[in-house]
């Protein structure tokens, strides 16, 4: 397992670098260029390229830091930190393990946040302003980022605390970790519109009758009962567009970003809604959750066996630090290392996840076109999506294969054209 892990690690570094290079280069074919020029001006195409390639060097550095930081923290700081937290609490007469875990996690996440803050600021603020996406002032951006960090940290910490308790038990209990993750995924998917969404957005009843009518028509045609249509104020933050569907059971709510109706016609918005209905009709949310359950079963075992490769102390696998001392998997100090291992394993599993995701998207697109009956509207909404988000139109096929959760825009446009031909 040790050899396998080292191979995966070396492969990760080499392969990831190749991917970074390919994603920078992209791949233009004469055929793709002709197709692009039918719908986009050369200026729009260039803007998309610029947005994708701007600050490329910095994004490489960011990825390196993201990856290296947990290792450095693990080998140099994890043990002293977990020890001082332990001593500090003991000094105060507190023996609560949960509290130890929470303090350790808080320090680790804050350090990691501070290390990555300059990158977040560059990509989330400077660049977004340069390309005209962001509507936030510096102060608003900081508050928003802090809030995002806080919410993310709380959710991850709860999950880690649960996983940590299982890791402290003997091996047979390991199977509980994927089950716990599955439970959290269900809870978060279900509660997202009630718990997390209101922290960032104001939602209001959708008022524009012209838009609401076509959306309801599409839903009715698809046999979906729409209880409410909401509008959420993304325009407070940016010009990026989106729409989604929530609700288990037969009654659904539609959420529309207010930015979407600024650039799209009612028919285009209805087309986007039809796409979301396509996902729902084909049970994609449920299938995705089950798929990630299978993934987490695999990854839990991989993490455990990677750790076991070094040996066991009193039944717990351990890893040696730079000073020669050992840190067992049941020590909270192991967490940064586990998170680094997770990055490597997820990288190798991402093509599988993305192949499935792209397949789902094609199914939803097909449903969308069939529902609307007008491939032109579908093409227009795709083109508008690309323009609104300054999409890079010529991604390298290998990069798409590995990373893309959606098919490239031009492939989707081509699909619309093919439907159009068939119709005629
Ligand atoms: Zn989709």
Q: Are residues 228 and 336 in the same domain?
A: no
**What is d(CA 164, CA 284) in angstroms, rounded to the nearest whole number?**
30
Domain end point (choices 257, 280, 303) = 280
Domain end point (choices 280, 305, 340) = 280
Q: Are residues 30 and 152 in the same domain?
A: yes
Report, as an integer, the average pLDDT of 76-85: 84
Domain that holds residue 263: 203-280
**What is d(CA 255, CA 228) in angstroms, rounded to the nearest whole number?**
9
Dist. CA 161 → ligand 1 center (Å)? 33
Question: 250-308 pLDDT, tens per residue?
Answer: 778 889 999 998 889 999 999 999 999 899 889 898 898 899 899 888 888 888 777 77
Domain end point (choices 219, 251, 280) = 280
Dist. CA 5 → ligand 1 center (Å)? 34
Confidence band for 207, pLDDT divided at 50, 70 and 90: confident
Dist. CA 401 → ligand 1 center (Å)? 17
- Say how many domains are in the chain: 2
Dist. CA 387 → ligand 1 center (Å)? 17
Dist. CA 275 → ligand 1 center (Å)? 6
First-residue to last-residue Cα distance in the chain: 58
Q: What pLDDT score was predicted for residue 31?
A: 93
Q: Are residues 377 and 243 in the same domain?
A: no
Dist. CA 246 → ligand 1 center (Å)? 14
Q: Are residues 71 and 169 in the same domain?
A: yes
Dist. CA 406 → ligand 1 center (Å)? 7
Q: Are residues 413 and 288 in the same domain?
A: yes
Dist. CA 276 → ligand 1 center (Å)? 6
Report, as an integer, the average pLDDT of 62-88: 85
């Amino acid at each position: 397992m040790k050899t396998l892990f080292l191979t995966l690690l070396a492969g990760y570094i080499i392969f990831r670098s190749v991917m970074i290079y390919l994603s920078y280069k992209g791949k233009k074919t004469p055929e793709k260029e002709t197709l692009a020029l039918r719908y986009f001006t050369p200026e729009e195409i260039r803007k998309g390229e610029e947005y994708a390639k701007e600050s490329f060097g910095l994004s490489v550095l960011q990825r390196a830091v993201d990856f290296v930081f947990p290792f450095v923290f693990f080998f140099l700081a994890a043990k002293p930190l977990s020890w001082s937290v332990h001593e500090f609490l003991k000094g105060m007469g507190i023996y609560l393990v949960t509290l130890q875990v929470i303090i350790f996690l808080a320090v680790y996440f804050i350090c990691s946040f501070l290390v990555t803050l300059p990158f977040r600021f560059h990509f989330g603020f400077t660049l977004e302003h340069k390309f005209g996406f962001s509507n936030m002032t510096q102060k608003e951006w900081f508050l928003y980022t802090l809030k995002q960090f806080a919410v993310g940290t709380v959710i991850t910490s709860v999950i880690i605390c649960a996983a940590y308790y299982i890791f402290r038990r003997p091996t047979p209990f390991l199977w509980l970790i994927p089950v716990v993750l599955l439970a959290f995924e269900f809870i978060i998917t279900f509660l997202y519109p009630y718990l997390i969404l209101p922290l960032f957005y104001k939602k209001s009843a959708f008022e524009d009758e012209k838009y609401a009518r076509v959306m309801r028509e599409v839903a009715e045609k698809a046999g979906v009962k729409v209880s409410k249509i909401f509008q959420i104020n993304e325009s407070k933050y940016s010009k990026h567009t989106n729409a989604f569907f929530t609700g288990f059971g037969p009654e659904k709510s539609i959420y529309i970003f207010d930015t979407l109706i600024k650039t799209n016609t009612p028919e285009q918005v209805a087309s986007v809604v039809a796409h979301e209905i396509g996902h729902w009709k084909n049970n994609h949310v449920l299938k995705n959750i089950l798929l990630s359950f299978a993934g987490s079963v695999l990854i839990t075992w991989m993490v455990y066996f990677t750790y076991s490769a070094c040996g066991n102390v009193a039944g717990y696998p351990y890893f040696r630090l730079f000073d020669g001392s050992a840190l067992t998997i049941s020590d909270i100090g192991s967490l940064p290392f586990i998170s680094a291992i997770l990055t490597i394993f997820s990288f190798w599993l991402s093509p599988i996840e993305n192949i499935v995701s792209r397949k789902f998207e094609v199914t939803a697109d097909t449903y969308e076109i069939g529902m609307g009956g007008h491939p032109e509207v579908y093409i227009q909404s795709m083109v508008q999506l690309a323009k609104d988000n300054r999409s890079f139109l010529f991604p390298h096929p290998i990069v798409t294969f590995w990373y893309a959760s959606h098919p490239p825009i031009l492939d989707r446009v081509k699909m619309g054209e093919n439907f159009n031909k068939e119709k005629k």
